[in-house]
Amino acid sequence: MKLVFLLGKGGVGKTTISAAIARKYSEKYKTLAVSLDPAHNLGDVFEKNLGTKPKKIDENLFASEIDLDDAVKDYIDDLQRTLRHAYRYLTVINLEKYFDVLKNYPGVEESALLEKVRSIVEKEDYDVIVFDTPPTGLTIRILIMTKMTLIWLKELIGIRRKILDRRSAIEKIQGEICVVIDGEKFDIPASEENDAVIKEMLEYQREMENFVSKLRNRSLTKFIAVLNPEQLPYLETKRIMENLDKIDIELSSLVINKYEDNEISRKIAEEFSRLSIYRVPRLDETRGLKALDEIAGLIGDI
Ligand SMILES: Nc1ncnc2c1ncn2[C@@H]1O[C@H](COP(=O)(O)OP(=O)(O)OP(=O)(O)O)[C@@H](O)[C@H]1O
Ligand SMILES: [Mg+2]
pLDDT of residue 105: 86
- Would you say residue 92 has pLDDT above 60? no
Atom of ligand 1 nearest to the CA of 12: 21
Q: What angle do CA 105, 109, 110 make, to 5 degrees?
A: 115
CATH number, span 2-299: 3.40.50.300
In order, the DSSP letters of 114-146 are HHHHHHHHHH---SEEEEEPPPHHHHHHHHHHH
CB 159 within 8 A of CB 33: no
- Mean pLDDT, rounded, for 232-239: 94
Atom of ligand 1 nearest to the CA of 8: 21
Ligand 1 centre and the CA of 12: distance in Å?
6
- Mean pLDDT, rounded, for 64-83: 91
Q: What is the pTM of this model?
A: 0.92
**Nearest ligand for residue 292 CA:** 1
Give the residue whose CA is nearest to atom 3 of ligand 1. 282
Cβ atoms within 10 Å, residue 201: 19
Atom of ligand 1 nearest to the CA of 257: 1
Ligand 2 centre and the CA of 286: distance in Å?
13
pLDDT tier for residue 99 given thresholds of 50, 70 and 90: confident
For residue 99, the one-letter residue type is F
**Which positions ≥6 away from 113 have C-beta within 8 Å?**
36, 66, 68, 71, 134, 138, 142
Ligand 1 centre and the CA of 161: distance in Å?
51
The 10s digit of each residue's pLDDT in 102-132 is 888 888 999 999 999 999 999 989 999 999 9
The 10s digit of each residue's pLDDT in 258-283 is 999 999 999 999 999 999 999 999 99
- Mean pLDDT, rounded, for 92-101: 72
Give strand pairing partners of 278. 255
Ion ligand 2 residues within 5 Å by Cβ: 14-15, 37
* Pocket residues: Cβ below 6 A from ligand 1: 8, 10-16, 37, 41, 257-258, 280, 282-283, 286
Give the residue whose CA is nearest to atom 12 of ligand 1. 13
